Amino acid sequence: MTEADIARATRSQPTIIDKDIEAARRKHRMPSDDELARVPVPAAPRIDALPQPQSQGKIDLGAIAGGFDAMGAPDPANSGMAVGPTLLVFVSFSMPDPALERLVDQAARSGATLLLRGLVDDSLQKTVARVQRVIGQRKVGFQIDPQAFDRFTITATPSFVLIKDRSVPTPCAAGTCFAADSYALAAGDVSIDYALRFIQKTAPKFSREAQAFLAKMKGG
């Protein structure tokens, strides 16, 4: 670019003086505190007015997501207090429906808690809907607790963990753990009552706890 070109470009630029700056400041000034205070604050959105998924019953998403009993009972494996006896049944939706429904029915009668490792298709709503279909009108504890699978080294479903009366969990990498001599483990495609009788035969020290759940199943 020659000096003549630079001169012509410079002459084509507008000249801004102090008067122009002051006029622009008045036109585009910042609002005062009083003006800001008079601006209405938008109302918070109403969460309860948002569309809700269709379901046959009330879905407690928070309870399921937090790994708590869907029916409101405390999770003994997450408690720092003495608990027991406790019967945990580890299940999966990959199990045949008749086997799963049988365990749900027996868990409702015995007071056992059913545990899942994770969500169905990584969807909380799908999981809750599936749990509700399986439970129906029965009152049974149902939890999502992947740490419990690690805590008791569960590698197959169904698996049954009977925790001895007054066993106290302690902190560990899986959240809380129980001493190896404070629980008995059985695994296999069997019913809850079969698993309890198997534990009575193979681990006599847990016979009293197993008998307590067997009596509940019989209504005694």
Q: What is the pLDDT of residues 32-72, one digit of tens each?
A: 666 656 655 544 444 344 343 333 444 444 444 444 333 33
**Average pLDDT value for the chain:** 76
At residue 8, the pLDDT reads 54
At residue 51, the pLDDT reads 41
Q: Domain with 205 in it: what CATH number? A: 3.40.30
Instruction: Check pLDDT > 60 for residue 73.
Output: no
Helices and strands in the chain, H and E counts = 9, 7
SS3 content of the chain, % helix, strand, coil (to 5): 45, 15, 40
Beta-carbon contacts of residue 157 (< 8 Å; ≥ 6 apart): 90, 91, 92, 94, 95
In a domain, 14, yes or no: no
Q: Which residues pair with 144 in a beta bridge?
A: 116
Q: Which residues pair with 88 in a beta bridge?
A: 113, 161
Instruction: Check pLDDT > 60 for residue 156.
Output: yes
- Strand-strand pairing, 86-90 and 175-177: unpaired
Share of the chain above pLDDT 90, in %: 46
- Closest C-alpha to 142, from 81, 57, 65, 52: 65
At residue 3, the pLDDT reads 57
- Quote the tokens at residue 125: 């709503």
In a domain, 4, yes or no: no
Which is more confident, 75 or 1? 1
pLDDT tens, residue by residue, 160-216: 999 987 777 778 776 778 888 999 999 999 999 999 999 999 999 999 999 999 999
pTM higher than 0.85, yes or no?
Answer: no
In a domain, 22, yes or no: no
In a domain, 192, yes or no: yes
In a domain, 161, yes or no: yes
Identify the domain containing residue 194 by its residue range. Answer: 64-217
- Burial degree of 127 (CB within 10 A; 0-12, 13-18, 19+): buried
Query: How many separate domains does the chain show?
Result: 1
At residue 47, what is the residue type?
I
- Burial degree of 113 (CB within 10 A; 0-12, 13-18, 19+): buried
pLDDT band of 82, cuts 50, 70, 90? very low
Which is more confident, 168 or 73? 168
- Burial degree of 70 (CB within 10 A; 0-12, 13-18, 19+): buried
In a domain, 83, yes or no: yes
At residue 76, the pLDDT reads 46
In a domain, 165, yes or no: yes
At residue 37, the pLDDT reads 60
Which is more confident, 116 or 219? 116
Instruction: Check pLDDT > 60 for residue 81.
Output: no
